[in-house]
Structure 1
Amino acid sequence: MKIKLPKNKLLTGIQRVSNVITPKNTLPILSNILLETTGSGIRLIGTDWEIGISYTTEAEILEKGGITIPAKKIGDIVKELPDEEITVSSQKNNTIIITSQKSFFKILGLPKEDFPDLPKVKSEESITIKQKLLKTMLLMTSFAISYDETRYVLNGTLFSLGDNQLKLVTTDGRRLSLIQKKIDNPNKIKKEVIIPIKTSAELSRVLKEEGDVRIFFGQNQIVFELNNTTV
């Protein structure tokens, strides 16, 4: 694999997916970011098994492929590089070369085949709403989420989808917060899913004031797709 792209695009992607990575992980692969080429650019993915984030951006593809790179190392390196084009290439034995102008770095990665796949859900089980609406609903219910790890079922936000309404509910056993909004649900999907605290926090961070977010409901997963980010 060999790619070239501006520093700001690469750094934005690294920072976006690094938010879900736990620094001290028992599995080394989960401390890494998956970087792989796509048809028109690159995709970066980070996960901790509970939540995964995928970010795509345009890049010049000099050679197709993929590799996983230690998230903290590449983040620290790219942050200090000049605001110029950066070239990232993978060599034999999972060695990664990062160059920009006179800067040269060599770090060791892990094979992309070892990286866990993000869940896929049926495309017909989805709704589309405004990003601003979902962001507001999350912010208005976040205060009542429980942080007591002994009550795991309360450590998140309940998404309840009815005929033409979306309801978000949180509680810590003493307080309860509920917000309900009318939405378009043409397929009359009925689902209830609890998303963890970390997912709620990441969604609040990436959702914007403009644009739509498409929400896919699976049997045990929920996927949020917006702009060039998938959570």
Structure 2
Amino acid sequence: MKATIERATLLKSLGHVQSVVERRNTIPILSNVMIDAKEDGSIRLMATDLDLQVDESVPAQVGQPGATTVSAHTFFDIVRKLPEGSQVELSAADGKMQVVAGRARFNLSTLPRDDFPVIAEGDLPTRFELPAATLRQIIDKTRFAISSEETRYYLMGIFLHVADDKMKAAATDGHRLARVTVDKPEGADGMPDVIIPKKCVGELRKLLDEVGGTVEVSLSSTKARFGLGNAVLTSKLIDGTFPDYNRVIPTANDKLLKLDPKTFMAGVDRVSTIASEKTRAVKMALDRDKVTLSVTSPENGLAVEELPADYGNDGLEIGFNARYLMDILGQIEGDSVEVHLADAAAPTLLRENDKSSALYVLMPMRV
């Protein structure tokens, strides 16, 4: 194999694929990135952890087609440190790959391309296109609520499904729920309910930063493929049943509190400075047209802040985890947030307004 490629092009593409590779691997080939120089004047780079695979083709001058695999993180670090604007010459033979740029020269150990595993996609019957901006919105407004508790593996991803002629995405960790509703794309009829794993969500979000236009989504009940320009991300899906989250979305919360989300978030952030790491509990005392936030910490003392608010019901005291509350408020884009409450023990609903595509449910804490 012999090929020459611009450093910036190689670095950008390697950045996309190498982040899939785990730092510690018991199978040596999984530490590697596959480099395939093709006759059509492109280099294909691919990395996998057997559950997730990123595959990207970039333009290059190919002198001799061929393929090999080298350590993904080492190769990425080398290319990152090469001089800007340089041309990188790659040549592989006899178990080594030479990397030359300017006066820098590296000889890297390789493993055969034939040993490199590729995720078999099988048949992906559901196919549709989503605007990149919509997919970004779905991820940004839900992924903070993904669970990291391995015993409840079926919550360790975003649940994507079609219901009521809309496409819905939901994530929950049992303490909070985030749901986004978007228009159902053409071709999504009959789509299986799927749970997209947390790692796939993270890698997909990184790739979306550089994609305009639309993303091609292909699904089966076990795998998903996302076509993002020159890059293709393929992932296994979580094999499990997502709980019926609609049961926890309150419909009869009759106490409505409205206030500015940025002011609210800043107030919670300030008073929670003294909260203990273990509970991070903030108490909200609601009264006519004001909310009093307070945190009591046995170690640090007391913090209180009063915020103006639109509230016309009877007084109520309720407690929340400050971090969870701030995560939700950080997703509210307008200048008002609606907080629908019932009592100190019932789930609380938060949203921008009744037309908003996103809604959030937060379980209270005893304070």
TM-score, structure 2 normalization: 0.60
Deviation at 1:200, TM superposition (A): 0.7
1:229 is displaced (CA, Å) by 1.1
Cα 1:176–1:49 change in 2 (3 A) is same
How far apart are the structure 2 equivalents of 1:171 and 1:205? 22
Which fold has the larger relative contact order, with Cα–Cα distance below 8 Å and residues 6 or more apart in sequence?
A: 1
Residue 183 of structure 1: CA displacement? 2.9
- 3-state SS of paired residue (1:141): helix
Tell me the alpha carbon deviations over residues 77-129 of structure 1, each in whole angstroms, 9 at most, x when there is no partner. 1112122111111111x210111122211010111111111333546521001
8 Å Cα contact 2:142/2:178 also seen in 1: yes
Q: Deviations over 1:59-86 (max 9, x none)?
A: 0111111111101211121112122111
Structure 1 position 143 matched with structure 2 position 144: yes
User: Map of 1:126-141 to 2, 5 A cutoff?
Assistant: 126-141=127-142
Q: In structure 2, give the amino acid aligned to 1:137.
A: I
Q: In the alignment, residue 225 of structure 1 is paired with which amino acid?
A: G
Task: Call closer, same or farther: CA 1:90–1:163 in 2, change over 3 Å.
Answer: farther
Once residues 172 and 36 of structure 2 are traced to their aligned partners in structure 1, the CA distance between those partners, rounded to angstroms, is 40
In 2, Cα distance between the equivalents of 1:224 and 1:121? 15
Q: Flag the 1:153–1:186 CA change in 2: closer, same or farther, 3 A.
A: closer
Of the structure 1 ranges 182-191 and 133-142, higher mean CA displacement relative to structure 2 is found in: 182-191
Task: Give the partner amino acid of 1:71.
Answer: A
Deviations, residues 170-190 of structure 1 (Å, cap 9, x unaligned) = 111121111111133246232
Structure 2 matches for 1:24-63, cutoff 5 A? 24-38=24-38, 39-63=40-64
Deviation at 1:4, TM superposition (A): 0.4
Q: Return the alpha-carbon distance in structure 2 between the equivalents of residues 223 and 177 of structure 1.
A: 24
Gaps of 5+ in 1: none
Aligned partner letter, 1:97: Q
Fraction of identical pairs, as percent: 29
- Partners of 1:149 and 1:70 lie apart in 2 by 29
Preserved contact between residue 162 and residue 191 of structure 1 (Cα < 8 Å): no
Q: CA separation of 1:215/1:161 partners in 2, compared to 1, >3 Å: closer, same or farther? A: farther
Change (3 A) 1:218 1:202: same
Give the structure-1-normalised TM-score.
0.93
> Matches of residues 96-175 of structure 1 in structure 2 within 5 Å?
96-122=97-123, 125-161=126-162, 164-175=165-176
**Structure 2 Cα separation of the partners of residues 222 and 76 of structure 1:** 30
Q: Distance in 2 between matches of 1:113 and 1:78?
A: 24
**Is the partner of 2:194 in helix, strand or coil?**
strand
AA at the equivalent of 2:152: R
The corresponding residue for 2:239 is none
The aligned length equals 230
Which is greater in Rg?
2
**For 1:83-102, what aligned pairs fall within 5 Å after superposition?**
83-92=85-94, 94-102=95-103
Residue 228 (structure 2) pairs with residue 226 (structure 1): yes
Residues 160 and 46 of structure 1, relative CA distance in 2, 3 Å threshold: same
Partner of 2:73: 72
> Post-superposition shift, 1:16?
0.8
- Measured on the aligned residues, the alpha-carbon RMSD in Å equals 1.7
Structure 1 residue 221 displacement after superposition: 0.3
**Structure 2: gaps of 5 or more residues:** 234-367
Preserved contact between residue 89 and residue 96 of structure 1 (Cα < 8 Å): yes
CA distance in structure 1 between the aligned counterparts of 2:222 and 2:180, rounded to whole angstroms: 23
Using the TM superposition, give the Cα deviation of residue 225 of structure 1 relative to its aligned residue in structure 2, in angstroms: 0.5
